[in-house]
Amino acid sequence: MSLILDELAVMVWPGLATIELDEAAVAVMRKFDVVSAFKGYRGYPGNICVSVNEEVVHGIPGQRILKDGDIVSIDIGIKLDGFFSDMAKTFAVGKIDAAKQSLLDATKGSLEEAIKQLKIGHRLSEASCSVQRFVEAKGFSVVRDFVGHGIGKQLHEEPQIPNFKTSEPGPLIENGMVLAIEPMINMGTWEVEVLQDGWTAVTKDKKPSAHFEHTIAIWDGAPQVLTK
């Protein structure tokens, strides 16, 4: 799956329409003999999600043109032999400012911190809390409306995996779990709203947001990143 995202990454450049990333994703998926997990899911119209700047998640590919200084999150889900995987990464378009780079670094770093907590004997809530601690210490906020999830024979399975502290301790980590951990981190407020298209979630204050995600299996007592 990371190979698909690698091929799309080299296309991220000023002047590109987001629909071009979607079209390229279809061609690359065919090459690897996999299918999009997103196309048609609950009526979603795209093959991938492409979210620019203030768009947090579920951006529908279209005629929006990437500009120098933008950041763009590409979220991909695929199905192969009856199993699903899910992955996202946020890219700089051309040259971005220091604040946006810090947001990207913090979001990626928070995912890495969460993965470290996925060990036998830990609870999932430890991974959730680690994301919040990491990014809030850097002055950013954690989206509450969307969370990570279990994944396997379905795209979204239990358990839900928040990126923030809740009153629930969460299940114990066990061998055989497969989890999609996906911090969505905002430069300003954590609050989001969904646009009239019914899918695209944007920050309420219209400040930038970043999104990184891996699918991880717990095996031999430790996390194995399947989408590395």
**CA distances for 117 relative to 127, 138, 157, angstroms:** 5, 20, 20
Give the distance, in angstroms, between the CA of residue 193 and the centroid of all CA atoms in the same chain: 17
Distance of CA 88 to the CA centre of its chain: 4
CATH number of the domain enclosing 208: 3.90.230.10
What's the number of domains the chain is made of? Answer: 1
Q: Closest by alpha carbon to 203, among 89, 94, 102, 73?
A: 73
CB 46 within 8 A of CB 14: no
The per-residue pLDDT for 94 is 98
- Give the mean pLDDT per block of 10 residues along the chain (228 residues): 95 98 98 97 98 98 98 98 98 98 98 97 96 98 98 98 93 97 98 98 98 97 95
User: Which of 172, 174, 173, 181 shows the shortest CA–CA distance to 130?
Assistant: 181
111: domain range? 2-225
Per-residue confidence (pLDDT) for residue 169, from 0 to 100 = 85
Which tokens hold the place of 14?
Answer: 């000023």
